[in-house]
Chains A and B, each alone.
Chain A
């Protein structure tokens, strides 16, 4: 009886330790590495691109934040946003998923003190509540300050803004903006 046990266990040990293949690498499909905001001015001058990119996701490297140029005063820009997962090749466009699940998402804009501009959503979810992946930016006088984009997952809808939206944050990116 005892021998049988010993053999059984030894056999199991050998069995489980022999078959060893390299584990499959996981490419995280939901990571958002990159957010690109494109602002198209109504006067057909140069587009302004705001970009934050963090290719190692939750890894130690900080995101690289770039702003392509300054905004012009008293001008309307038509804005759109793209969320990308660039750990995959080709990069996966996560904006599509967010727009598909519009009822569960909303992109909020926070204009920091000093900066004189207004931002308003121009697209809605199926219930007629703002989704925010398309928006208008109206710049006012020359100024500078921070502009923050916050993507909330499962916010309360409708809401009066970030303060009472709840939900959890998928993206939070801040850009230094200058209006000249």
Chain B
């Protein structure tokens, strides 16, 4: 008996070994490397590497650029997440409620997700161009003043958030659709027997509670996705004007690969991951408590 269990255990280890080795090699070790470098003063390409203690972290605490970009990122994530989840949910319900053109709408709204963000960013830049773009042509035709959506420090972050919502809504929609498919029809029938006839009642008593787990997942995923915003900023604004659109990943990229300050960039990364991890934990805890798992 015991020999067999040991054999099985060995087999189990053998089976997970390839994955585990890969994980350690390509995930755990590089992460530890980043943590180690966060305590160094290393500049990319330099031969000597020195121990910097907590210097990087104390610089981080006093870095106005980092504070600005952290704040921008939070504002961005807090506007993109709720709106893209809500819109995704609405679109999913709308499309699933009728068979008319379902396939077409589904792919139309999913298109932004599969298209290359950088290419789309350039299209957006043109659409929003103050004197050449169609959006401003429309605004001017209405007799309103042209707007520098991407060049005005007050408008740039909301504009980027708008692009983010456009990009994430389709993704959330597909996830919600999958959740909708998993709701058994008999529950709707039962609700109808109990007197829930109006669509709103059915949504409130059946759809939403059963969609709970999916929605938690969607919220967390789209929060994490929007926290990682980078491409639109790098392709269009480079964090400008005057850092109004500087986000954390862009700051890390600049420090590490434009200024070559790997030590400091690593410290930023560590701080970023810790915060993100903490937020995710809190979210799951908080939302889990209110979710009904069927």
Question: Do A and B make up one complex?
Answer: no
Chain A residues close to B by CB (< 8 Å): none
Chain B residues close to A by CB (< 8 Å): none
